[in-house]
A and B are shown apart, each in its own frame.
Chain A
Amino acid sequence: MKPLLSSLPGIQAENSRVFYDGMRDGIPIGLGYFAVSFSLGIVAKNAGLTAFQGFLASALVNASAGQYAGFTLIAASAAYLEMVIVVLIANARYFLMSCAMSQRMKPETPLHHRLLMGFYVTDELFGISIARPGFLNPYYTYGAILVAAPCWATGTALGVIAGNLLPLRAVSSLSVALYGMFLAVIIPPANKNKVIAGLILICFASSYAATWLPLVSSLSAGTRTIILTVAISAMAALLFPVKRKEMEND
C-alpha cells in the first residue's frame, strides 16, 4: 500500500486485508454492473454514441439512472442547461447517501480520500460500504471499485458494439444481482431491529403504491426514490430517534 498514508506496518496490513475484502464483495457488484451497463450500452448506441463515448460516459459518471436520462437527452439534442437539471434530479439521492457517508468517515480522514470516495458513491458501493461496522475504511471501497468499475465501463462499450448477442436469460438473471446485494445490506439489521424491519415493509408498500398513485406515478423513478427516502426517513427520525450508542452497535 502507499507508504505515505501510514508508517505503521499494522495499519498497512489491515488496509490491504480490507482492500481484498472489498475486491471480494466487488465481484457480485461487477456482475450486476456488467448486465445493467450492457443494456445501457444499447441505449447509448441508439442515442448516437460510439463504443468509446459509451465507455467514457460510464467511466466518468457511474450512475445508471443518471446515464440513462443523459443518453435520452443526447438523443433528443436537448439544451445543455436541460442536461444539468435532469442529471441533478436523477442523481440527487447520491447527495443524501454522501451526507450519510460523511457521518461514517473518521473526522481526520484526509481530503484526497474524500475526493476519491466521492467519485464512486453508487447505490451498491454505498450499500456495502455502509454495511461495514465502525468508521469507513476507504481501502475497502477502493477494492470494490477496482473490480466493479471496469465491469461497468466495459459493459457499456460492449453493449454499444454487440447489443443483442447476450442471451436474454443471462441478462435477466444478472439483473437481480444488484437487488440481491441491496437485500444483503438491509435484511440482516432488520433481523436484529424491529423498527428497521417495520420500515422496510413500509418502504416496499409505499414504493409500490407510488408506481400507480395518480400524480406521483408520473414522476421519474429517481424523483420518487428521493421523495420517499426523505419522507420515510424523516418520519422514522421523529418517531424513533436513535441514540449514538445504538448506532455503534449495528
Chain B
Amino acid sequence: MTNNIYIYLAIMAGVTYAIRVLPLTLIRKEIKNDFLQSFLYYVPYITLAVMTFPAILGATQSPISGALALIIGVVAAWFGASLFMVSLSCCAIVFISELFLIPLT
C-alpha cells in the first residue's frame, strides 16, 4: 500500500460532503421556473423507485423472498401502514420465507 488510507478517507468524505451541501446552502430561493420546479418535485419518487427495483430481488439470499418483501411492502404502504411497520413487515416476510426457501443455512 503506497498511498495513505487517511488521505483516501479525507477525499471520500470531502467530495461527498461538497456534493451534498452545495445545493442546500447555495439555493436559498424558491425556483420559479416551472420545468425545474416540476423536475425537482418528481426527483425523490423517481430516484427511490429506480433504486428499489430490481435491487430488492438481489438483497436477499433468494430472489423469491426479495419479491415477497416487495409485494408485502407495496400492499402495507398502499393501505397506509407507517414507515416502521412497512419496513418491519418486509424484514419479517424475508425471515419467515427463507426458513422454507433456504433450509440449510
Contact = CB atoms under 8 A, between A and B. Distances in A.
Contacts, number: 303
A103 to B, nearest CB: 5
Contacts of A214: none
B61 A172 contact: yes
Interface in B51-105: 51-56, 59-61, 65-66, 69-70, 73-74, 76-78, 80-84, 86-92, 94-95, 98-99, 102, 105
Q: How large is the interface on A (under 10, 10 to 19, 20 to 34, 35 or more residues)?
A: 35 or more
Interface of B: 1-3, 5-9, 11-13, 15-17, 19-31, 34-56, 59-61, 65-66, 69-70, 73-74, 76-78, 80-84, 86-92, 94-95, 98-99, 102, 105
Contacts of B66: 176
Given A94-B19, A182-B51, A211-B54, A242 B44 contact: no
Contact of A184 (B28, B44, B53, B86): B86
B19 A91 contact: yes
29 contacts: A56-B9, A60-B9, A61-B13, A66-B12, A67-B12, A70-B8, A91-B20, A94-B16, A95-B19, A98-B20, A103-B31, A118-B21, A119-B21, A123-B47, A130-B44, A172-B59, A172-B98, A173-B91, A173-B92, A173-B98, A176-B73, A179-B70, A180-B90, A180-B91, A183-B86, A187-B73, A188-B80, A221-B55, A242-B37
A96 B53 CA distance: 19
B15 A114 contact: no
Contacts of B37: 103, 242, 244, 247
The majority secondary structure among interface residues of chain B is helix
A237 B98 contact: no
Nearest to A127: B48
Contacts of B70: 179, 183
Contact of A24 (B65, B69, B84, B90): B84
